[in-house]
Structure 1
Amino acid sequence: MELSAFLVVILALISALSRGVTIVIDRYQIGIQKNSVLQVNLFNNLFSMFLIIALAFYFPFWKLIFDWRVLIYAALAQFVALGFSALYRNMTVFESVISAKIADFFIPIAVFLATGAFSLKTYILAVISTIIVMFWLRKGTDFKKYLFGILLIVPLLVAQAFGNPLLVSNFHQDFYTIIAFTLATLTLRFIISLVMFFLYRGAWQKKRWIFTRKNTFLYLLRAFLTIITHFTFVLVTADKMAALGWIFLNMTSLYGILVSRVTLKEKTSRQGIVLVVGLTALMIAGSFL
């Protein structure tokens, strides 16, 4: 199932905006409340499972769990999620932008190697968006602080961009199959997070367990957004025009700062908001020129 450029952009924006909200939730639970990364990751996936079980009656997916391609896809997604969680523990939402955007230099090439599809215009847009963000953050930026983040998250994002089209190609026929694939992937992510949680139980046994009514609501909200994010993400990153979608997907943290400014009271200048809105508008316009 091939998508039009317009649909790729719309789905990528939905995925990025949904993910932007989940980033702020992660930042609150991990960076502010100082909960264990593995603990939060487990509960995130556990609450997603509640919704997945309900959806399983309409979209049977249990057989897909044993498919090696689904397993690798889920493992990649889980490691990327853990990588971002590690970033949010030590950086503000805005500071995490630079780490993810560096990947835009390499993702179009990774997509080309996986699909054979390459657009010079898309690559130029990806490079321009990255340079704009880097130029914006250059003042007062401690590049040593970001070096760890770049080395951690960029290889994971590039590996994901390369692997997704190859792993999803047999499950990309229609929406029904893609939803089943998404549910199977999220189920495997829960299993992986559960295994890691108990393998490293010594690291979390000394951590505080903060499980209030507010946190329960946040976990439920995140679970709902996770399914939306993951479904649209699968559609976009498995398409031949995935490189175009990745431009917006890697601006997720930029969208997150709009939410963090309101909910977490993290300082973001008006110029920063203009950057987010202006860059998004520029990339949308450039996509259809």
Structure 2
Amino acid sequence: MTSTFLLIIFATASSLSRGIISVIDRYQMGYRQQSSIDVNFLNNIFSSILVTIFLVYLLHRYHGPQISSSYIIKVILYALLAQMVAYGYSYVYKKVSIMQSIVLSKLTDLFIPLAIFLTMGYFSCKSYLVSILSTIIVVIYIIFKQRHDHLNLKTLLTTFAVIAPLLILQAAFSPFLTKGIISPLDLVFFTIATIYLRCLITLVTFWYKNRTFKLRGAKISGQVILIYGSRAVLTLVAQITYTLATSSPNSSIAWVFLNMTSLYSVVFGSFMLKEKVKVADILLIICIFGLALIAK
């Protein structure tokens, strides 16, 4: 398999997993109106428990990575960016539907290739042309929806102002922070360290918000354990494949597929959350998917 094809596989696996996670998060924060701080804390606790089992298995079969001061700094920055994006999306899912989140994430396609060029010096004219075309399609979609469905542009602009800088920063610095970590095994260990640090970050924010370790209003029932447990598995898959997909200087191609996360979540959301998908939404999905195939 070519490296480009592997990038596409990893990116697709990550976006599919995150698509389902998006539906879970939309349900928890958009419908049940749970605190994003509490939800992220529980999400990362369950993920850390799961990844610990995986880590024990890996250490039993392989040697751990060589840890240096620069390695620790990179992991901390990588985890901080990842968790900031998670908090950003928590805000998005409180304010807009899953389909509207597509609009917000796809608009960043215009800036991500430029951001990667600034940090890694890599630029693909073909990929950027696809980014321009996808942005134009999304803008046309916004105009169409505004005329027919009266979108709340103020809400969209506010949520875009929150999530866009975070997505661009993450896309720009992810390949830079993982540069030099070549083997898939080392990338997996890097991802595990990221999950632990994200858990620590959410632990600190949870304590700061609540000033206690009690989950206010939360009932740890079988359904809750099932939701968070399933999300933990998906998080592990999504995070590992995301790290593998964005570790290459050629990751701008992977980002075309990574940014299809919300496209997949629309499909799951229409079944699980009954959020209606109209003809215009389907046409947008088809157009963007077609452009992604061109980029391949």
Common fold: TM-score over 0.5: yes
Partner of 1:232: 241
Conserved 8 A contact 1:64-1:184:
no
Once the two structures are superposed, the pairs formed by residues 84-163 of structure 1 within 5 Å of their partners are 84-138=89-143, 139-140=145-146, 141-163=151-173
Q: Within 2, Cα distance between the matches of 1:65 and 1:52? A: 22
Partner of 2:207: 198
Change (3 A) 1:205 1:21: same
Which residue type is aligned with residue 142 of structure 1? N
Shift of 1:14: 1.2
1:186 aligns to 2:195 (yes or no)? yes
Deviation larger for 6-15 or 215-224: 6-15
| Residue deviations 1:135-167 (CA, integer Å, cap 9, x gap) | 223223222111111111111111111211111
Partner of 2:87: 82
Q: Within 1, Cα distance between the matches of 2:122 and 2:218? A: 47
Shift of 1:206: 9.3
Conserved 8 A contact 1:3-1:239:
no
Change (3 A) 1:206 1:54: closer
Change (3 A) 1:23 1:204: farther
Shift of 1:63: 7.3
1:287 aligns to 2:292 (yes or no)? no
1:200 aligned counterpart, secondary structure: helix
Conserved 8 A contact 1:64-1:70:
no
* Aligned sequence identity (%): 35
Q: Within 1, Cα distance between the matches of 2:65 and 2:41? A: 20
Q: Within 2, Cα distance between the matches of 1:45 and 1:106? A: 29
Q: Within 2, Cα distance between the matches of 1:221 and 1:206? A: 20
Partner of 1:273: 282
2:154 aligned counterpart, secondary structure: helix
Deviation larger for 140-149 or 153-162: 140-149
Shift of 1:3: 6.2
Runs of 5+ consecutive residues of structure 2 not aligned to the other structure = none
| Residue deviations 1:140-196 (CA, integer Å, cap 9, x gap) | 32221111111111111111112111111132x211111111111001000000000
Conserved 8 A contact 2:115-2:168:
yes
Once the two structures are superposed, the pairs formed by residues 45-56 of structure 1 within 5 Å of their partners are 45-56=44-55
Structure-1-length-normalised TM-score: 0.91
1:37 aligns to 2:47 (yes or no)? no
Which residue type is aligned with residue 275 of structure 1? L
Shift of 1:82: 0.3
Structure-2-length-normalised TM-score: 0.89
Once the two structures are superposed, the pairs formed by residues 171-182 of structure 1 within 5 Å of their partners are 171=181, 173-182=182-191
Q: Within 2, Cα distance between the matches of 1:97 and 1:279? A: 11
How many residues are aligned here?
Answer: 285
